[in-house]
Structure 1
Amino acid sequence: MPGTGTFREDFGASVVVALVALPLCVGVAVASGVPAELGIVTGVVGGLVTGWFRGSSLQVSGPAAGLTVLVYEAVRTYGLPALGVLVLAAGLVQLCMGALRLGQWFRAISVAVVHGMLAGIGLVLIAGQAYALADARAPAGTLGKLAGSAELLGRADWTAVALGAGTIAVLAAWRRMPDRLRLVPGALVGVAAATAAAALLRLPVDRVRVTGVLEAVAPPGWGDFGVLASAGAVGTVIALALIASAETLFSAAVDRMHDGQRTDYDRELVAQGFGNTLCGLLGALPMTAVIVRSAANVEAGARTRAARILHGGWLLLFAVALPGLLEVVPLAALAGVLLHAGWKLLPARQVAALWRTHRGEAVVLVATASAIVATNLFEGVLFGLGLAIAKAAWETSHVHLEQVWEGEELRVRIVGNASFLRLPKLLDELDALPRGGAVRLDLTGLRHLDHACLTALDGWERDRAPLPGREGVS
């Protein structure tokens, strides 16, 4: 049970986190193509349910921009009723991974792949929300959206663009405000300002459509589970589970901001799995731990998990008592919030730093992001992981020759890891050795020798063997 000695700090932090989470919950839901209330439902579950688990004390969970692309594609492909089944199955996968203590393995994922994933998500988010900002119909697919961006200028509703741009300007400027003012989240200020301007000036822009929390919650029926017979749906489940888990455990970086309890990766994975299972039963959005809300929680002075539990209560109170307020929020303002979030996901500094120090890692990052834009989130991440593994295999397969003359015999010591990846280079260096004298291969310096290299060295030795009356390999 959270301690009572820190209730004042946790109570204040919970209000701040709820104000940060509210526009993001609604914005992520709208961008995912589902009713706005479902985003709030996921935020409530992330607080009131997942918040009780001991995996992490200060991480805050809810719907995340990082899953928007995947959820949107899933809803478009399989329909809204199937979303609950997919999220439920993903939650069960997370529970199994946590029970098998696989949480620690997520720490082994290449940082370049993680940043590439976030960059790809940011690019897809920007491409999609640019149309929402302009109140224009978006083409299908990210490449289609990018290709149609030139025509967007001619179709844009400039009133909506002004509201969205104003929201982004408030978000950018709010970081430079005094600390006392920044206790109120910039996203809330930006959306509130845009909403007030649209209401006072009676601007004809699209607004959030509200059906009510109880009406929006639609638990999946037995017939909806048939979607899992599709290989594509199973791939979506795996992608949801892996990406939500990776983003959750990546958000554990918030531990660096406080001196409290460190994150237990396996327990946190179980907590997320339980939360997503419940979200699936409610037909809501999937959840992850979100770095923005978690950082706001720490910065607001939270001390225990009571803050994240209470933030879920504030979201529930808002959804039940004041749902009508959502109907006056312009969609362009929420698009501005998500555009700003997408921009912050682009790791420009990390790419520049990696290019100066580890160019191979920079290539993996850019390639992962590009693959996500060109295909989809799941395939793009798999491509990035494969590229990172191939890069690691290449870098660890270094092999070189050391030549030492011992009288009239040349001893060639092969040092390193002799794998098929370096076989062409190894054979070229062996073929370049002086011919006519005795050569002795010394394999004691090899840490690894695969079958392909062993076979090739045997063949090279036979080819180099001396003819009758001549010296050769000893």
Structure 2
Amino acid sequence: MSVEFDRAPSRLATIKDDVFASVVVLLVALPLSMGLALVAGYSFENAAAVGLISGVIGGIVVGLLSGCPLQVSGAANGAAVMAAVFIKDLGFEVFGLIVMLSGVIQIAAGALRFGPVFRAVSPALIQGMLAGIGLLIFASQFHVMVDDTPPGTGQEFGGVINLWSLPVAIWKGVTMEAHEPAALIGLLTIAAILLWRRFAPRWLSFIPAPLVGVGLATAVAAFFAFDIKYVPAPDDLLAAVSLPTTHTLGRIGEGALWAAALSLAFVSGAESLLTATAVDAMQRRTPRTRYNKELVAQGVGNFLCG
């Protein structure tokens, strides 16, 4: 009688799939990282550099330290909107310090083995929060989609103002020549994503719909040379890096900064660990997530990004 054992594929046999998956993640994460940098309040001139550097830190540093082998770390919707609020309330000069402090809190929480505590947070709570954040992002970025500035930017109840003024953005995209090309590209992106999810051939269904939408819209905009706003590519990535000044560090004792850092650490930590739990539920081939290690990895990433 012979007994056969299932053998995991060798590293060499899977490297082709790994490289392809990495390229797909890169192409999806690249516009997302830059877009969320804009949502957070960075200027068009700096958004690309900030998004790229943050993506590299999430992919390489957090990836090497991660406690979840199949989770990809990077820019998050919830963190972007919270960042915009912190920048508005506390000032842009201390935002990096807030992110650094949130990383320190996460590292300490992981070292003290508080990782599983984050799993006690109801997924409904996190999903509800993210749905609200997504609505705010939609309200502001719909205006950006037609090459317009969100009217609620920097104002009290800015999200409500952006939502209320959506018909104005639609009117501009339909009737004003200066806004029509951007509106067409935005609608093309949305249509491509929806149609790909519904009608993609089975043998191509592994290509993510956002990648198809972004790729098609970019090609069309370039081919027809549409006069729309583009996020400028940085000549020097390191030009976006700035270390905290002594004046900024002098504000480290402010309670508002620590409250902001604690909020950011909790929300981003819970979101990451709940995602890791979902990844575990989807597969049985890799070891289960080590929550404390994953929390420390996220903390290191946030510290470096800050």
Q: Same fold (TM over 0.5)?
A: yes
- Distance in 1 (CA, whole Å) between partners of 2:112 and 2:252 is 23
Question: Displaced runs of 4+ in structure 1, greater than 6 A?
Answer: none
Give 2:281's aligned residue: 256
- How far does the alpha carbon of each residue in 1:396-450 deviate from its partner, in whole angstroms, 9 at most, with x for none? xxxxxxxxxxxxxxxxxxxxxxxxxxxxxxxxxxxxxxxxxxxxxxxxxxxxxxx
> Which range moved further: 109-118 or 243-252?
109-118
**8 Å CA contact 2:103, 2:302 repeated in 1:** yes
Question: If the length of structure 2 is used for normalisation, what is the TM-score?
Answer: 0.84
**8 Å CA contact 1:81, 1:218 repeated in 2:** no
Q: Give the AA of the match of 1:146.
A: L
Selected match of 1:51 from 52, 56, 63: 63
- RMSD of aligned C-alpha atoms? 2.0
Give 2:165's aligned residue: 148
Give 1:17's aligned residue: 25
- Distance in 2 (CA, whole Å) between partners of 1:20 and 1:199 is 19
Paired positions, count: 278
Give the C-alpha shift of residue 21 in structure 1: 1.5
Q: Secondary structure at the match of 1:180?
A: helix
Q: Give the AA of the match of 1:205.
A: I
**8 Å CA contact 2:100, 2:302 repeated in 1:** yes
**8 Å CA contact 2:99, 2:261 repeated in 1:** yes
Q: 2:40 aligned with 1:32, yes or no?
A: yes
Give 1:137's aligned residue: 149
**8 Å CA contact 1:23, 1:187 repeated in 2:** no
Q: Secondary structure at the match of 2:119?
A: helix
Q: 2:272 aligned with 1:278, yes or no?
A: no
Selected match of 2:111 from 92, 99, 103: 99
**8 Å CA contact 1:29, 1:38 repeated in 2:** yes
Q: Give the AA of the match of 1:26.
A: M
Q: Give the AA of the match of 1:225.
A: L
Unmatched segments (≥5 aa) in structure 2: 1-9, 174-178
- Distance in 2 (CA, whole Å) between partners of 1:80 and 1:210 is 22
Give the C-alpha shift of residue 46 in structure 1: 1.2
Correspondence 1:236-385 to 2 at 5 A: 236-252=260-276, 253-259=278-284, 260-280=286-306
- How far does the alpha carbon of each residue in 1:263-291 deviate from its partner, in whole angstroms, 9 at most, with x for none? 111111011111111111xxxxxxxxxxx
Structure with more of its chain in strand, by fraction: 1
Give the C-alpha shift of residue 216 in structure 1: 1.7
Cα separation, partners in 2 of 1:99 and 1:171, compared to 1, 3 Å: same
Q: 2:196 aligned with 1:192, yes or no?
A: no
Q: 2:183 aligned with 1:161, yes or no?
A: yes
Report 1 or 2 for greater relative contact order, CA contacts < 8 Å, sequence distance ≥ 6: 2
Question: If the length of structure 1 is used for normalisation, what is the TM-score?
Answer: 0.55
Correspondence 1:45-84 to 2 at 5 A: 45-84=57-96
Q: Secondary structure at the match of 2:41?
A: coil
Q: Secondary structure at the match of 1:69?
A: helix
Q: Which has the larger radius of gyration?
A: 1
